[in-house]
Amino acid sequence: MIRGWFKWLFYALRRHQALNAKPNMAHFALAELARQKGEEGFQCLSQNVDGTPPTLLSPPHTNPLGLSQRASHPPSQLKLLHSTLFNLKCFNDSCTYLDIDNFTDPLCPALTITPENIETRLAPAAKSMHNHLDPRRPKAIPEDELPHCPSCETGLLRPGVVWFGEALPSETIEGIDEWIEAGESVDLILVIGTTATVWPASSYVEIARRFGAKVAVVNMDDGELGSASDLREGDFWFQGDAAVLVPQMLEPVVGDLKQFKELAA
């Protein structure tokens, strides 16, 4: 197991980057597609972890939101398969503590992200991860300086994201299954910017095929595409930047989106 301090350095950087990022034109295009097609016509299944699950939003919501939500994606049409960086829970599985929508940056002084500590801490650590398994190696950040659970007071907090080997949020999966089964067919599944190799998220390509869907893949390269690699007659493959290609693909449906260009990354 990688030490808690290294995990927190990694996720502190991801939280910092997500809070300072802007939606790109693909986010705006998919949000507009959702509005035009309606809840019965389109659902976005996202593997991104920069947002807040719609079921946890409580209006009025004044905190920062994820990239899709900042692009005004309708909440009922956005399913976050891997949950979010901005929920915190306890490492102790028997503890039920949950801190929802914690956008504090940094979470504690030891996790302050600056260009200097990215260079001095994260980069060297990433190059020698095997050394972190050596119990004789001093910790880069003392454990008592990391976020601790205020409820059980026995362990560290962790981001609420789904890690390998953990189950996806049951409410999210049930909602997706109900949406698929409610319709007689699925016309198209867009596979955007993913290798489609992480199960069970990757399984939705084949599930959509069983309901009659064609597959359209948008990716920067033609390497590993997992469950989306078996392209057939009538499927589509677009190689390039999703921020450029997705708005072009969807323009006949969503328009030119020029009103969003100044807001996009």
SS (H, E, C) 47-82: CCCCCCCHHHCCCCCCCCCCHHHHCCCCHHHEEECC
Tokens representing 134 are 């050596």
Catalytic residues: 82
Q: Does 99 reside within a domain?
A: no
Asked if residue 104 belongs to a domain, the reply is no
Residue 203 domain-assigned (yes or no): yes
Cis upstream peptide for 115 (omega within 30°): no
Which CATH number belongs to the domain containing residue 240 in this structure?
A: 3.40.50.1220
- Give the per-residue pLDDT at 184: 80
Query: Is 120 within the bounds of a domain?
Result: no
Residue 141, domain member (yes or no): no
- Check residue 86 and give its pLDDT: 92
* Helical H segments across 167-223, by residue range: 170-182, 203-210
pLDDT at 59 (0 to 100): 43
Amino acid in position 27: H
First CA to last CA distance, the chain: 36
Q: How many domains is the chain built from?
A: 1
Structure tokens at 130: 């095997």
Residue 92 covered by a domain: no
Q: What is the pLDDT of residue 130?
A: 46
Residues (pLDDT < 70) of the chain are 1-3, 52-64, 116-139, 196, 223-228
191 strand-pairing partners: 217
Q: Which domain holds residue 197?
A: 24-81+169-260
